[in-house]
Chain A
């Protein structure tokens, strides 16, 4: 059985992406779009939805496994915030994965790490995928 390849995936997140995700998910917490409210909450700036970061990590899993229907489980811990500047460049997130031996159920465990620069923003992230 061929091992699942998990080439690192890099995704850029801009303010426009936060607005798009807010609308798609229904999460309109203003810390994800308002500098004023983010500052009032003591945050270093407008931050990305944790669930957007998880959603991008799931996109990487879908890419590696050969489809979103192959991601059977996915659990993450939100370890630090992703600050998204109000510019056109946005911020880059790098998703990497480490594959372990399949279990008796045939599912392949994948440890996922998401980094923003040097900072790990998703920790203890483990998925189980059905290999193609």
Chain B
């Protein structure tokens, strides 16, 4: 007779537990272009001249065009992908629960960004897995530019 109090162990739990604490580094640097910054700024309606006009950005003390604050999602998600591809859950089972960014300096055009992502913790609630992933985005010198934190919910497949 089955033990009614013990649910069968979710195979995803073992996969996820194995990944906790392991750093994953993006295989290639992401090069930030002026065109991509302008394109992203247009997509969120950011009209600040420092996102569009190099002279304005330099006059404001920046090396080149400044990326809008949530542009950091592009390099951050490249790191997140390194973790989530190992979890193996299909995209349509993943829900973005929370997102945070702390900018040590603004991302600017010309940056070559490498992301190190780590699954920090995980909890299972009612068959869904809540994964907290940190992603440290660093420049070519290795200095951190942005620290991102994402909560991804992997929806339970059963039922």
Contact = CB atoms under 8 A, between A and B. Distances in A.
A62 B48 contact: yes
The DSSP consensus for interface residues of chain B is mixed
Interface residues of B, number: 33
Contacts of B96: 50-51, 78
B98 interface: yes
B43 A24 contact: yes
A36 interface: no
Contacts of B4: none
The DSSP consensus for interface residues of chain A is helix
B46 A77 contact: no
B79 interface: no
B70 A54 contact: yes
A21 to B, nearest CB: 5
Interface stretch (B21-29, B101-109, B112-120, B131-139): B101-109
Contacts of B103: 71-73
Interface in A66-88: 67-69, 71-78
Which of B43, B60, B99, B106 has the most chain A CB atoms closer than 10 A to its own CB? B43
Contact of A21 (B44, B60, B67): B44
B100 to A, nearest CB: 3
A17 interface: yes
A129 B42 CA distance: 22
A1 B69 CA distance: 25
Interface in A20-38: 20-21, 23-27, 29, 31
Contacts of A108: none
Contacts of A74: 69-70, 100-101
A75 B100 CA distance: 4
Interface of B: 36, 39-40, 42-46, 48, 50-51, 60, 62, 66-70, 73-74, 77, 91-92, 96-103, 106, 149
Given A24-B39, A29-B92, A74-B101, 12 more contacts: A24-B43, A58-B69, A62-B46, A68-B50, A68-B51, A69-B50, A69-B62, A73-B101, A74-B69, A75-B98, A77-B97, A78-B98
